Amino acid sequence: MNRAVVCAPLAVEGFALRGRVGPFPVVPTGMGPERSTAAAAHLGAGGSRPVLVAGVAGALAPGLRAGDLVVADEVRGPDGTVPVPTAVPLAAALRRLGLTVHVGPVLSAPEVVTGAAYARAAGTGAIAVDMESAWLAGAAAGGPFAVVRAIVDSPEHPLARPGTPLRGALALRNLRRAAPALRDWLAATGERTVLLAEPRSFCAGVERAIDVVDRALDRFGAPVYVRRQIVHNAHVVRRLQDRGAVFVQEVEEVPRGARVVLAAHGVAPAVREQAAARDLAVVDATCPLVTKVHAEVRRYAGRGDTVFLIGHADHEEVEGTVGEAPGDVVVVEDVEDAAIVEARDPERVAYAMQTTLAVDEAEEIAAVLRGRFPTLTPPRRDDICYATTNRQRAVRAVAADADLVLVIGSQNSSNSKRLAEVAAREAPPPTCSTT
């Protein structure tokens, strides 16, 4: 059972949200530290629970205007600081509602901050000030905790001014507008089942490439030069850099006679020639399944075919594969391309694929090509590698049962992007992320 609760210190704040945050109770907790402490003791008595504090606040940082929302990423009180790790996704959900949102520390002061106290409070680096959140954090008792405050006053527009009722009404209106995002946050804090796709994580080709660089470092010591990212994964690249790997874009950047590792995605023959011209000691980490596609393209081009390469023109693997026969390979990125591409001789045509495409999308493109070129020669065996296919199948299975699919990978990873697309196609509308 989800015991999430909204703490609204003032009655007007509770009124703004009551009935708008789904089944979750909006509890009036009272103004100031004493009432907040008592409410926290009462609410937290049954053990940890998700707590969302919602109300109004004073601005401390410049640029905050009446009605803006502040989402605390930490709450600072007299007894210490409470981190609020869910601030960023909650702020993003609020921004999607068209609200102006600032994320930063919120200071909880024991009394109304006015005059010189404002400057002192602003000097702490907090962006807003309230009188309850630090004490209400105790109600969560270690459970999920969030603070959303709508700005009413600021050093330029203090509370004791005629404009305060108008600014207060604006703040409460925006708190009301925030209700759908607050409701979703509360709902998301309930018990969750995490489904892990199987298989996941690195494929054998990537494991091998990483291992090649590690072994080169073990055996020859730093520096070991690596052309391009050995794999499209920022964490792996950083770890290898820390060990002494130096990543370069082109072999021209490698000192003559040095050792260079070629990444898993493969390279054009011209790159090997450049490496030889510089007397580089080449360690080849190209995945054998990419090498297989290169061989295929060489064979088809060698017998005079135009080779349609289904893939993304700007991907390193495709650049390398095209380099096997630059005059004979035509990159086909989508069904639109497939509908218009031409061949020297429409009777002598073949196709190959980038290894990390989405299987269903690539098949659609191939079907258009087959429809236009009846004698089109397909790859002998599937070019989309077993690792890509299996992971897409696993994501599809998970997406069918999930509310949200998270794909954890790098933005420049073709595999990660395709997995997010596959999940989105499988069960719309889950939110699929690549990070």
Active-site residue list:
317
289 binds ligand SF4 (CB under 6 A): yes
| Under 8 Å between Cβ of 262 and 285 | yes
> For ligand SF4, which stretch binds (CB under 6 A), given 12-20, 71-79, 189-197, 380-388?
380-388
Residue 259 to residues 19, 193, 279, 280, Cα–Cα distance (Å): 67, 48, 9, 6
- Residue appearing with tokens 């087959």: 370
Distance of CA 318 to the CA centre of its chain: 25
Q: In the complex, what is the shortest distance from the CB of residue 204 to ligand SF4, in angstroms, rounded to a whole number?
A: 6
Between 60 and 358, whose beta carbon lies closer to ligand SF4? 358
Query: Strand runs (DSSP E) across 197-296, as ranges?
Result: 224-227, 245-248, 259-262, 281-284
The interface mask with ligand SF4, positions 128-167, x = CB under 6 A, is ----------------------------------------
Q: In the complex, what is the shortest distance from the CB of residue 219 to ligand SF4, in angstroms, rounded to a whole number?
A: 22
Nearest 5°: CA angle at 138, between 153 and 105? Answer: 40
DSSP symbols for 138-199: HHHTTS-EEEEEEEEE-SSS-SSSTTHHHHHHHHHHHHHHHHHHHHHHHHHTS---PPPPSS
> For ligand SF4, which stretch binds (CB under 6 A), given 5-13, 30-38, 47-55, 385-393?
385-393
Say which residues have a Cβ less than 8 Å from residue 102's Cβ, sequence separation at least 6: 61, 63, 64, 68, 69, 70, 71, 127, 128
Among 172, 352, 385, 395, binds ligand SF4 (CB under 6 A): 385
Between 203 and 262, whose beta carbon lies closer to ligand SF4? 203
Q: In the complex, what is the shortest distance from the CB of residue 29 to ligand SF4, in angstroms, rounded to a whole number?
A: 53
> For ligand SF4, which stretch binds (CB under 6 A), given 88-96, 157-165, 202-210, 330-338?
202-210
Q: In the complex, what is the shortest distance from the CB of residue 320 to ligand SF4, in angstroms, rounded to a whole number?
A: 12
Closest by CA to 298, choosing from 311, 309, 284, is: 309
Among 206, 358, 402, 422, binds ligand SF4 (CB under 6 A): 206
203 binds ligand SF4 (CB under 6 A): yes
Q: What is the dihedral sign for C-alpha 9, 12, 16, 22?
A: positive
212 binds ligand SF4 (CB under 6 A): no
Among 321, 356, 392, 416, binds ligand SF4 (CB under 6 A): 356
Q: In the complex, what is the shortest distance from the CB of residue 286 to ligand SF4, in angstroms, rounded to a whole number?
A: 9
Closest by CA to 294, choosing from 282, 279, 284, 281, is: 284
From CA 329, how far away is CA 320, in angstroms rounded? 11
Between 84 and 287, whose beta carbon lies closer to ligand SF4? 287
* Strand-by-strand arrangement of the 224-227 sheet: 245-248, 224-227, 259-262, 281-284
287 binds ligand SF4 (CB under 6 A): yes
Residue 223 to residues 42, 88, 352, Cα–Cα distance (Å): 61, 39, 36
The interface mask with ligand SF4, positions 310-349, x = CB under 6 A, is ----------------------------------------
> For ligand SF4, which stretch binds (CB under 6 A), given 5-13, 84-92, 133-141, 203-211?
203-211
* Site residues for ligand SF4 per CB under 6 A: 203-206, 264, 287, 289-290, 355-356, 385, 387-388, 415
